[in-house]
Amino acid sequence: MKFKTTIAPLFLLVALPLGAIAAEPTQPPSSGPAAKEAAPAPAPAAKDEPMPLFKELDTNRDNFVTKDEAKRSAEVLARFKELDTDRDGKISGAEFKKGMQPKY
């Protein structure tokens, strides 16, 4: 009987920590080579991505908004000359983004 009473506490000493380890949620490593493999690839640079309104206005997808396309937005149409900084009669994505950024 003494054998059973000695094994029972030993079993509990081993089993309890294993149960706690199994219950913990796993987290990806925060550094080292394994972290580089687990990390998702970075998103494309946001500065090159046209704004959603620009995409909506550019109906022919030529990456320019013409005065005719700008008619779909009262604000863009009213500011067309201001946004068309190179005065070529159309607004590029870069011109649009620069001109539509809030001024602080």
Domain that holds residue 87: 46-100
pLDDT at 33 over 60: no
pLDDT at 94 over 70: yes
Rounded CA separation 74/54 (Å): 13
Residue 23 maps to a domain: no
Residue 82 maps to a domain: yes
Query: Which of residues 55 and 40 earns the better pLDDT score?
Result: 55
Residue 1 maps to a domain: no
Residue 84 maps to a domain: yes
Number of domains the chain contains: 1
Residue 38 maps to a domain: no
Residue 73 maps to a domain: yes
Interval 45-85: pLDDT, tens: 455 566 899 999 999 999 999 999 999 999 999 999 999 99
pLDDT for the residue numbered 98: 93
CB atoms inside a 10 Å sphere around CB 51? 13
pLDDT at 7 over 80: no
CATH code (residue 77): 1.10.238.10
Burial per residue of 8-27, b for 16 or more beta-carbon CB atoms within 10 angstroms, e otherwise: eeeeeeeeeeeeeeeeeeee
pLDDT for the residue numbered 45: 45
Residue 67 maps to a domain: yes
Residue 74 maps to a domain: yes
